[in-house]
Structure formats: C-alpha cells, structure tokens
Amino acid sequence: MYVSILFVVLSALSVFSSVQGFVLLAVARKPVRGPREELRRRVSVLVPCFNEEKVLRETIDSILASRGVEFGRVICVDDGSIDGTLEVMHEAQRRHGEVLLVLRQRNRGKAAALNHALTAVGTEFFASVDADTQLLPDTLARLLEHFTDPRVAAVSGQMIVGNRHPAQDFVYAAQVREYESANNIERRAFAHGRRITVIPGAIGAFRRSAVAEAGGYPEGTLAEDAHLTLALLLNGHRTTHEASSTVLTEAPDTMAGLRRQRVRWATGKTQVLLRVANPALRRGGLAAALWLYLMWNNSILPLVWLPSAVLLPFSAVALLTRGPETVTWVAAVCVLTLAVNYGYFVASRRYARSIDAAGRAAAGLVEVRTGFRSTVVIPLVSSLATWVAWARILTGRPGGWDKLDRSGDVRVQAFSAKGALDAD
C-alpha cells in the first residue's frame, strides 16, 4: 500500500515537473515584442569586487569597449579584498582615466558594495556586472533599449558560460546546458509578462529611481539580485530580458566548486522567498501566484529530486516483484513517466541549444557535447544543496558567501577554437 502510494506520488511529481516545463517552452517559443526604438543613453556601471585580481582587468576593459552608450562612471568597489584587486583597479584607472571610479570599504558583502556604488551614480540608468563577467560590445546598448517603456525597471542579459579550459568537462558541460535552459526557456517565457524573477548580478540594467524606491539592494541574504528583483515587482514595476545582450561569465568547473555555488544559491533564494512571503501573499493575485511558483520550484520541488533517484526505481521494482497483477499498471506508469520526461528533455535541450548557438559562435566558444554525468549532476547537486539550505536556515546558520576562487579562464577576444568538447 505505502510502496504503491510512494511510487505514484514520485511519478506524478516527475511528470508534473516536465509538463510545467513544456508549458514554459511553448510560451518561450513565441516571439517577444522588442524595444520600440534605439537611443544612445548615459549609463553608469557598478562592479562589486572581492578578491578579483585574476579577472577584473579584462572585465573593466570589456565594459569600456562598449558601443552605443555614453558612460557616466564605471564604479568599482573593493569590498575589503586581501589580494591584488585594489592594485588592478588603480592600474585600470591610470589607463582609462576619470571614467573609472575606485571606491573602498571594509568587507561587508556584495549588497553593501553595490549600495556603496549607488551613492556615486549620477545617471538615471545603471548596470551591474560581476567582476568575472565580460561583455560583448553591444551588450549595454541592447539592455538600455528596453527603458523606452517607462514601466520597465530592470532588464536581464544573456549569460553564457565562458570557461576555456575547464578542470572537469562534465561539470562545465552541465552548466552550459543549464544556462541555456534558464536563459532561453524560463527567462523568455517570463519576459512575455515582463515578470523576470531574477535580474542576475552578472549582467542587468536598472532604472535608478525604481531601485531607490525599493531602498537599494536589500542586505542580509545571499541573493541580493533575486531580492531586489522581487522588490521591484512587488512595487508594481516590470522586469524583462534581452536575449541579444550577451556576456561571458566564469562558472565553477569542479564538483567542489559547483556544490559550494549551489548551496549559496539555494540558501539565498529560500531566504529571499521567506522574507517576501508576507507582502507577496497579502497582495494576492499575480504576486501571490508568482511567489508560490518560485517557492515550489526553487525551495520545495528540488528536495524530491535526490530521494527520487533512489526511491522511484526501488518502489517500481518492489511493486513488480509482488505478482503479475501489478505489472501492467506499474509498467504503464513507468512508460508514461519516461516518455514525458524524455520528450521534454529532448525538446527543451534542442530548442535552448539552438538559441544560444549564435551567441556562443560570436564569442568564439567551442561546441559542447553532454553525456550521462553532465545530464544528471545539476539536479542531484541542486537537490542536495536545497536540503543543506533548509537545514542552515532552520538552524539559524545560513553561512557566508563562500566565494569561489577565480581561474581567470574567460577571454572574449581569445576564443577562436573550433570543434567540440567531449564532456562525458
């Protein structure tokens, strides 16, 4: 009895996840109405930094090589780095002049660094760029086009994993495919309603007045980008996505780095959702529905993935050994579950990969092939990370940023290799 219930519930959850994905895929495939006109806008760029000496020079150079914009300031904030980050900033300042502003503070975290930078912003629009992220020349201009709509408060860009020589190919390939799916399915789908739920720290543009209304970047969580985005939405603003606004970002390329990143992400997202639960649910309607969607998909459903990997096949085998009367219905459920999940896997992977092909080619990135390990590693690690995140939050020990070491492996100009990286 209990084994049958367990098998049916786990199968239903698996099918539901894929059906939900099919709905998002169908919406994502519809054309999104683009900006109405191109304007050459003034923009400030915020670059929060903590121990970024390996990557910061290239990031600054890529920002200042942007076309189609006028810079107010590029504001780099050193958040108490203990390496040569500050020296890199001053060297860049000598090369680029007064357009580059260097600020310092004691180590207080990324949100505090961004708020410090906001005090020096003198333009109505600003962009935030992570120190390990490099921009293509038209990235900023294409983000800013969306602000012709006065309701839009923030715009996300298209992130592409840009590591050249990953330590573990299957970890790299897994993240390439995940970024493709997040950019080209979920973000595109939510862009139709102008309700992008996270304007990522790696690349996003903002209307300063809307951010000021929200009180700046919220501090006290590990996901200030998600927190600010939800605050903007709850204030009635719109957020959207620009798929042609491409950046290359460095992603963890080892299992240890991936685990640390996902624990931080899972903890931060759950912290944010718990903090905005009351205003979102009190508002009701679309705000409440969006909160429920995020809580379910980010903080509840992943809890099931790791146990399901063991319990679903175990319960199926246990039922099949009970006798011939169980074989038909158990086999039917198994076939249905596999068919739906595999169908979504193939359809979503093919579509998402095709959309990012042009961006990867423009950046000179090699093609990536995925194998079994790269297919399963993200769901399993994310599930484990969600368990750890809930344990930390419930025990009052959410942890710190646990910042990843940079490899300095991303180079916009250096990508010229052709061929495929076998990531199995």
Using DSSP's 3-state secondary structure scheme, residue 254 falls into coil
Burial class from Cβ neighbours inside 10 Å (0-12, 13-18, 19+) for residue 282 reads: exposed
User: Which H helix or E strand runs over 116?
Assistant: helix 110-118
The per-residue pLDDT for 418 is 35
Can you state the angle between helices 169-181 and 372-394, rounded to 10 degrees? 80
Measure the CA angle with vertex 380, ends 377 and 382; round to 5°. Answer: 100
The secondary structure of residue 147, as a DSSP letter, is G
The per-residue pLDDT for 320 is 78
Q: How many CB atoms lie within 10 A of CB 384?
A: 18
CB 74 within 8 A of CB 44: yes
The per-residue pLDDT for 191 is 93
The per-residue pLDDT for 17 is 92
Cα distance between residue 168 and residue 194, in whole Å: 36
Using DSSP's 3-state secondary structure scheme, residue 197 falls into coil
Cα distance between residue 146 and residue 39, in whole Å: 10
The per-residue pLDDT for 224 is 95
Per-residue confidence of the chain (424 residues) as pLDDT tens digits?
Answer: 678 888 889 899 999 999 999 999 999 998 876 665 667 889 999 999 999 999 999 999 999 999 999 999 999 999 999 999 999 999 999 999 999 999 999 999 999 999 999 999 999 999 999 999 999 999 999 999 999 999 999 999 999 888 878 888 899 899 999 998 988 999 999 999 999 999 999 999 999 999 999 999 999 999 999 999 999 999 999 999 998 888 998 888 899 999 999 999 999 999 999 999 999 999 999 999 999 999 999 999 999 998 888 888 888 888 878 777 778 888 888 889 999 999 999 999 999 888 877 767 766 777 777 888 889 999 999 999 999 999 999 998 876 656 667 777 776 754 333 333 444 4
The per-residue pLDDT for 290 is 95
User: What is the C-alpha radius of gyration for the chain, rounded to an integer number of angstroms?
Assistant: 22
The per-residue pLDDT for 419 is 34
Cα distance between residue 346 and residue 261, in whole Å: 27
Domain spans, the chain: 1-30+132-413+420-424
Query: Which pTM value belongs to this model?
Result: 0.91
Cα distance between residue 203 and residue 162, in whole Å: 14
Structure tokens at 34: 């683009």
Q: How many CB atoms lie within 10 A of CB 9?
A: 15
